[in-house]
Amino acid sequence: MNEIFSPKLLAGKRILITGGGTGLGRGVARQLVEHGAEVHLWGRREAVLAEAAAEASEPHPGSVHYHTVDVRDYENVDATMGAIWSEHGPLTGVLNNAAANFIAQTKDLSPRAFSAITSTVMNGSFHTTHAAGKRWIADELPGSVLSTLTTWVWTGSAFVVPSAMAKAAVHSMTMSLAVEWAKHNIRVNAVAPGPIPTDYAWEMLNPTDKSSVGATQTDSIPAGRAGTIEELANLTMFLLSDACDYLTGQCIAMDGGQMLAGPGTFAGLTSLSDADWQQIKETSKAASESSKAQRSV
């Protein structure tokens, strides 16, 4: 049991996690349940969802429900959202977690491949957000939307171009709806986790054993390690709780400093020793002294 937050942090919350049958969504679900939430998992595969629901509901049996939904299909999303509202009650939060991605050279992508990724990430997040948001507004209820993005929304990323494009679009939705829906007490935020090991994504994003190829290598991360699902769950719970009602429109990176140390910065210097840094200091001091001396001439 996570002891950072009260076990009642999310009491009374009803939270939907899209793509909740696997990976990050599945891991976060259990933490939400442990902190008092009722959780609804959406995904395309019933058997996977049933297993995830059984696992996540262990701390509080009966608190996890699942629905087979393809978020790319608005009719399917809207009908299932309506069923949740009428059979369980209004949601209090939506976690847009469903994603699709694979590493490929962009020149080799087919239109179907592009669409498989963008329709899940971009259209799926819009469909789910829209279906919940219009109900919250009609019912005059507050709500909270949280989308799982990546730091590629700021930097772009080679070899995962459809994912980078689609996640940037969801970032734009986050900023736009934060403004449009603030008067309805609906908050819209996002998180951008760095690499966090989950079986499927890890396999997909590390297609070879060359560490420089995958998106998951830890030597480019100043913190020196990948993130954990517990850390992501803590941030998620904070954002979906009542702790920060004034926080909206933000995308919060949690990546051990990886993005800020990316290409074009001095990331390679993280492996230097104290002696190396001393030498750099002396060299740079000497250079600035010499420069000063030239200016005063």
Q: Cβ closer to ligand HXC: 89 or 207? A: 207
Structure tokens belonging to residue 35: 């902190």
Is residue 212 involved in binding ligand HXC (CB under 6 A)? no
Cα(64)–Cα(15) distance, integer angstroms:
10
Helices (H), the chain: 23-34, 46-56, 74-87, 111-118, 124-139, 152-155, 161-181, 199-205, 229-240, 274-295
Site string for ligand HXC, 103-132 (x = CB under 6 A): -x-----x-xx--xx---------------
Structure tokens belonging to residue 274: 């104290």
Distance in Å, CB of 150 to ligand HXC, minimum = 5
**Cα of 51 vs its chain's centroid, Å:** 22
Residues ≥6 apart with Cβ < 8 Å to 281: none
Is residue 101 involved in binding ligand HXC (CB under 6 A)? yes
Site string for ligand HXC, 144-183 (x = CB under 6 A): ------x------------x--------------------
Q: Which stretch binds ligand HXC (CB under 6 A): 4-12, 80-88, 97-105, 123-131?
A: 97-105
Q: Cβ closer to ligand HXC: 97 or 248? A: 97
Distance in Å, CB of 210 to ligand HXC, minimum = 17
Distance in Å, CB of 233 to ligand HXC, minimum = 17
Give the residue, chosen from 77, 99, 145, 239, that forms a contact with ligand HXC under the rule CB under 6 A. Answer: 99
Q: Cβ closer to ligand HXC: 109 or 182? A: 109
Cβ proximity of 170 and 122 under 8 Å: yes
Name the nearest CA neighbour of 145 among 173, 183, 117.
173
Q: Which of residues 214-253 bind ligand HXC (CB under 6 A)?
A: 215
Cα(215)–Cα(289) distance, integer angstroms:
42
Cα(151)–Cα(258) distance, integer angstroms:
9
Q: Cβ closer to ligand HXC: 66 or 136? A: 66
| Residue burial 75-84, b: 16+ Cβ < 10 Å; e: rest | ebbbebbeeb
Note the residues at the interface with ligand HXC (CB under 6 A).
99-102, 104, 110, 112-113, 116-117, 150, 163, 194-195, 200-201, 204-205, 215
